[in-house]
Structure 1
Amino acid sequence: MGDVVIRVLAVVAAICLSAVAPAYAAADDGMEKLFTFKDPAITESSGLAVSPTHEGVYYTHNDSSAAPTFYAVDGQGRTRATFQVRGAQARDWEAMAATKDPATGRGVLWFADIGDNLDGAWPNISVYKVMEPRTLTNAALPATRYRFRYADGGRNAEGLMINPKTGRLYVVSKEFAGSVYAAPAKLRTDRVNVLRKVAGAPIMATDAAYAPDGSSYVVRTYFSATLFRPSGETIAKVSMPELKQAESIAYTPDGKALLTGTEGPRSPVYRVPIPAAGRPVTATPSPVRGEEKEESSPSAQAAESGDGGLTAKDVLIWLAAAVTATGVITFLARRTR
């Protein structure tokens, strides 16, 4: 019954959160459905990214219990190509990111096998780096595997983002007191890399992404999205379309809007304009104290202050969810004796 309990907890928490979710400032008018995935093989779209080199192309992959496969999709939701990641595992792929190699101009795709519903069942998690294919034809692609562990113990996570200015990788945990974890500046393939907490994150984060210019990042939850400065300071909270199970978030190439998707067959992808306060800036973001050599990292000061993490209101929400979940689980336990 363990799996049932976990699922019930997630569902009940979502219901409780929706009942008391705060009203967020809406983005500018213009929220629209961009396309719907037409491929019947895309049943649990969990990661979403815009191609760095193929105009009008988007990438996605399915959630857990799937093969290490990703899809290139056009602006009408039609699959242009299907790719296998050679030698990779897909225990619980939850997120992806796309960057561009500054030296070669080639696109780079990152796939995060970071889901862990038991919060520490896996001794380490993995992120796979794949060079973006030059042509959109079905193929098996080689990957570089990086293994990670959290400095403060196992976590469930569904958010992955890469700072386009520094190239640093970040994982965002999915918890009632979520956190942003930074990877080492230089990743190693011959050892397990350590992820260290550098900032708080919104409750139950399901994805994250960095803006193309590095001036901000966004964290998605089941109900909304929050924009942050690289220091971890909150910029704005953005209302999102109502989705069955919001799982993914990405920036448009111009950084002026967000793309968000959900799980399920023939699931939609929406475009949501970013409020003026969170749009790209021309000036270089100011470095955080103590981080002059690495400007665009969420700061430890933000983590200490709890900015973006668990607030008093979040605690009340959590308690409401816990009480309700306990009642539901007790009822299920009696029914299954």
Structure 2
Amino acid sequence: MGDLVTRVLAVVATFFLLPAVLVTPASAAPDDDGIAPAVPAFAAPASTAPDDDGMEKLFSFRDSRITESSGLAVSPTHQDVYYTHNDSAATPTFYAVDGQGRTRATFQVRGAQARDWEAMATSKDPATGRGVLWFADIGDNLDGAWPNVSVYKVMEPQRLGDATLPAVRYRFRYADGARNAEGLMVHPKTGRLYVVSKEFSGSVYAAPKKLRADRINVLRKVATAPIMATDAAYAPDGSSYVIRTYFSATLYRPSGESITKVAMPELKQAESITYTLDGKALLTGTEGPRSPVSRVPLPEQAAPTPSPSPVRADQSEESSTAAQQPTGESGGGGLTLRDVLIWLAAATTAIGVITFLARRTR
């Protein structure tokens, strides 16, 4: 029994305590492009002035109800408005905040559950130009506890004010078996949804081109993802996408090829990432009361492009669509040897301490 308790506690430590133990992410050292991290957001009074690399704290959420900001998105139609929602054990609620972190409106989502909301994304309806909000109930810490996961589609309100909004629910299952996920992104040109799993060997999964609300849609693996991905987002012009981890962020071309790793500000528990509307910077957030949202400029090699890369005339329609989305298994994992060593050292320390305590209490 003692060995069983020890193993259980060790697993718990490895998967749930490591994010708190790893206080020095891989991005602490300057990256290849010379970007260095900002001052830890929770270590000292935050400054709104940008540092030498252009990183700056944009705002902090002021609403006491926003305690576990897990999803983050920029409004596609309202100027200087940002959306967020809490993590698990919450109601289907999201908040619109301004550039000073003040809540402009609180919305309830009718016809939705909040089993474990982990991410959100925005897009535009090509027919009407209205904003579309997507909320991903895709968290599954037991990697198979739920037979299917859900993504809710909500039309963005044209005026900001407390309201209850209807949702369309799309249910999904993975073609290769259930798994935990925390990343959701939508291609701005095709409108196709992608889910990024949070695993030691993560993956990017593509939803069907046309979603069905009357049956379960199948998510199929199209690319690899970095270890323990906590969020993802597509650039507004479709020229790149980003995947966030506890350590840093990695930019990818639509083909799945890695562009570069981007240093992130040190946060208590990095949970969210999105692009600014102009595609020139990333916004990243964390959980916790009055948690900050930081702006990180993109490196030059990841600057937005005026149009997607041309597609060869001999490619089929399916291949043309694939050229605008993550396809292929190019790794670009965004994880260095230093990341792995830090992770293993923290895991060994945590497991050793818990094993010692377990044996002393037998």
In the superposition, the TM-score normalised over structure 2's length comes to 0.85
2:323 to 285, 295, 300: 295
Against the structure 1 CA distance between its residues 38 and 335, is the aligned structure 2 distance closer, same or farther, given a 3 Å change threshold?
farther
2:60 to 28, 36, 40: 36
Structure 1 equivalent of residue 42 of structure 2: none
Against the structure 1 CA distance between its residues 282 and 190, is the aligned structure 2 distance closer, same or farther, given a 3 Å change threshold?
same
Counterpart mapping for 1:162-181 below 5 A: 162-181=186-205
RMSD: 2.5
Instruction: Give me the whole-angstrom Cα distance separating, in 2, the residues matched to 1:148 and 1:3.
Output: 30
SS at match of 1:327: helix
Instruction: Give me the whole-angstrom Cα distance separating, in 2, the residues matched to 1:239 and 1:316.
Output: 18
* Mapped pair 1:9 → 2:14: yes
Q: Deviations over 1:76-114 (max 9, x none)?
A: 100000000012110110000010111100000000001
* Mapped pair 1:193 → 2:221: no
Larger radius of gyration: 2
Against the structure 1 CA distance between its residues 314 and 269, is the aligned structure 2 distance closer, same or farther, given a 3 Å change threshold?
closer
Instruction: Give me the whole-angstrom Cα distance separating, in 2, the residues matched to 1:80 and 1:238.
Output: 31
Structure 1 equivalent of residue 256 of structure 2: 232
Instruction: Give me the whole-angstrom Cα distance separating, in 2, the residues matched to 1:91 and 1:4.
Output: 25
Structure 1 equivalent of residue 167 of structure 2: 143
Instruction: Give me the whole-angstrom Cα distance separating, in 2, the residues matched to 1:70 and 1:7.
Output: 30
2:105 to 60, 67, 81: 81
Q: Quick check: 2:258–2:331 contact (8 Å CA) kept in 1?
A: no
Counterpart mapping for 1:48-59 below 5 A: 48-59=72-83
Structure 1 residue 8, shift from structure 2 partner: 2.2
Structure 1 residue 315, shift from structure 2 partner: 6.3
Against the structure 1 CA distance between its residues 335 and 151, is the aligned structure 2 distance closer, same or farther, given a 3 Å change threshold?
farther
Against the structure 1 CA distance between its residues 14 and 164, is the aligned structure 2 distance closer, same or farther, given a 3 Å change threshold?
same
Q: Deviations over 1:184-238 (max 9, x none)?
A: 1111111111111111111111100000000000001112111000000111111
1:62 to 75, 81, 86: 86
Instruction: Give me the whole-angstrom Cα distance separating, in 1, the residues matched to 2:311 and 2:338.
Output: 30
SS at match of 2:359: helix
Task: Give structure 2 stretches of 5+ with no counterpart.
Answer: 37-51
In the superposition, the TM-score normalised over structure 1's length comes to 0.91
* Mapped pair 1:248 → 2:269: no
Structure 1 residue 282, shift from structure 2 partner: 1.9
Structure 1 equivalent of residue 359 of structure 2: 334
Structure 1 residue 120, shift from structure 2 partner: 1.0
Task: Give structure 1 stretches of 5+ with no counterpart.
Answer: none
Structure 1 equivalent of residue 176 of structure 2: 152
- Once the two structures are overlaid, the 10-residue window that deviates more, 3-12 or 38-47, is 3-12
Instruction: Give me the whole-angstrom Cα distance separating, in 2, the residues matched to 1:3 and 1:34.
Output: 40
Aligned residues: 334
User: 1:224 is aligned with what amino acid?
Assistant: S
Instruction: Give me the whole-angstrom Cα distance separating, in 1, the residues matched to 2:8 and 2:289.
Output: 23
1:257 to 274, 278, 281: 281
Structure 1 equivalent of residue 246 of structure 2: 222
Q: Quick check: 1:215–1:281 contact (8 Å CA) kept in 2?
A: yes
Q: Quick check: 1:287–1:294 contact (8 Å CA) kept in 2?
A: no
Instruction: Give me the whole-angstrom Cα distance separating, in 1, the residues matched to 2:230 and 2:25.
Output: 19
Structure 1 residue 295, shift from structure 2 partner: 2.6
